[in-house]
């Protein structure tokens, strides 16, 4: 795959079908059936039946073509936290994983606060165990110290697009984001002062990307959006989704109990009080990771796909103006 000529139409070609069949045959032997689960501009997923068992094979767009390589590493380092990897081709970003059954969401677990607490704690444990282990994974690094520059560059780039471009950031929003830059600086300083190491951010961790393994443990999948950054920023998606699923306000103590399960993992490096105080700022920086993953996807979209999804980076950037999903605007100080 190349970033200059590739489009999602590749997944419908005979050439790709041949490559996919060869990959599956090497991994599984005789394949009985391959069914499309989803084809989107950013990734495609197929369900595979072979030897009486089901598995899933996935490929990402070029901007997110790190997942097979990353999952192969995670399967070695933290196998108790990720779905089993049956085969991985890092060059073509083809990833084959075992089917562990319905997701936590499909099991009805998204409405259970205890499930969100487990997701928060287990994802933090995964992060802690991966500190220093991902330097060669070619993942985007979003350090807190670089947040203001990233936002300023994104505002300038997206606001400069023609009015007819679906990726364009509205001028009135650009003005507000430019005025927010000193605040982004303060968020960055607050998070940096904790001194936590950079590590993996799943960046799309919600109940539909978690399954319950036969041993009762949670297993994570779908790391296409992953980046490296401040660990607390990785709580943005799960806390936002927990708040939505549980139907609670941002200042509900239930959300803090979920967050505390993750903060406990880092409490030997910073005090619980300091971690809690910095968390709302870290969650705002977590929004930048969502901008980045969408930016990577939009690059190779067709004009038709951009008409539907091209506004996503600008929308995620504009969300920096919203209060964090936990604590509300007042928690930012």
Placement of tokens 């969650």 in the chain: 283
For residues 301 and 324, membership in a common domain is answered with yes
Instruction: Using the 3D structure, point to which of 36, 68, 98 is the last residue of a domain.
Output: 98
Residue 4: predicted pLDDT: 55
Same domain, 124 and 241: yes
The 10s digit of each residue's pLDDT in 76-101 is 999 999 999 999 999 999 999 999 99
- Tell me which of 73, 98, 123 is where a domain ends: 98
Instruction: Assess whether 150 and 40 both reside in one domain.
Output: no
CATH code for position 183: 3.90.1200.10
Judge whether 297 lies within some domain. Answer: yes
Domain boundary among 64, 98, 132: 98
- The residues, any chain, with a CB within 8 Å of residue 259's CB and separated by 6 or more, are 120, 235, 239, 276, 279, 326
Does 141 lie in the same domain as 50?
Answer: no
Structural domain range at position 210:
109-332
Q: Is the pLDDT of residue 332 over 90?
A: no
- Residue 3 forms part of a structural domain: no
Residue 138 forms part of a structural domain: yes
Number of structural domains the chain divides into: 2
> Is 1 a domain residue?
no
Strand bridging mode 227-229 / 141-142? parallel
Same domain, 83 and 136: no
Instruction: Give domain status of residue 104, yes or no.
Output: no
What pTM, to 2 d.p., does this model score? Answer: 0.96
Condensed to tens digits (0 to 9), the pLDDT of residues 96-131 reads 999 999 999 999 999 999 999 999 999 999 999 999
Tell me what percent of the residues of the chain surpass a pLDDT of 90.
95
Same domain, yes or no: 85 and 133: no
Looking at the structure, do residues 166 and 49 belong to the same domain, yes or no?
no
169, 248: one domain? yes
- Integer Cα distance of 183 and 271 in angstroms: 24
Residue 2 lies in a domain: no
CATH number of the domain within which 88 lies: 3.30.200.20
Residue 328 CA: distances (Å) to CA of 231, 240, 280: 20, 12, 8
Q: How far apart are the first and last CA of the chain?
A: 46
């Amino acid at each position: 795959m190349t970033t200059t000529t590739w489009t999602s139409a590749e997944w419908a070609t005979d050439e790709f079908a041949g490559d996919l069949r060869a990959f599956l045959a090497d991994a599984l032997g005789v394949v009985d059936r391959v069914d499309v689960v989803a084809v989107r501009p950013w990734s495609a997923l197929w369900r595979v039946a072979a030897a009486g068992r089901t598995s899933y094979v996935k490929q990402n767009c070029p901007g997110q073509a790190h997942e097979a390589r990353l999952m192969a590493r995670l399967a070695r380092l933290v196998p108790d936290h990720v779905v089993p990897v049956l085969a991985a081709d890092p060059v073509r970003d083809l990833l084959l994983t075992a089917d562990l059954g319905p997701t936590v969401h499909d099991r009805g677990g998204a409405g259970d606060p205890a499930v969100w607490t487990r997701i928060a704690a287990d994802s933090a444990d995964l992060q802690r165990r991966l500190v220093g282990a991902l330097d060669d994974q070619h993942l985007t690094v979003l350090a807190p110290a670089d947040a203001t520059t990233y936002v300023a560059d994104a505002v300038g780039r997206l606001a400069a697009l023609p009015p007819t471009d679906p990726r364009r950031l509205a001028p009135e929003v650009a003005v507000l984001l430019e005025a927010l830059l000193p605040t982004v600086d303060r968020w960055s300083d607050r998070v940096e002062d904790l001194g936590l190491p950079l590590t993996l951010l799943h960046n799309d961790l919600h109940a539909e990307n978690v399954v319950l393994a036969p041993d009762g443990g949670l297993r994570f999948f779908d790391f296409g959006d992953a980046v490296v950054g401040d660990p607390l920023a990785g709580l943005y998606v799960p806390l936002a989704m927990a708040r939505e699923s549980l139907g609670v306000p941002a200042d509900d103590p239930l959300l803090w109990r979920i967050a505390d399960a993750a903060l406990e993992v880092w409490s030997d490096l910073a005090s619980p009080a300091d971690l809690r105080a910095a968390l709302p700022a870290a969650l705002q920086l977590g929004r930048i990771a969502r901008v980045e993953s969408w930016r990577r996807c939009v690059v190779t979209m067709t004009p038709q796909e951009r008409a539907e999804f091209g506004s996503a980076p600008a929308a995620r950037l504009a969300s920096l103006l919203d209060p964090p999903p936990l604590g509300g605007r007042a928690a930012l100080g």
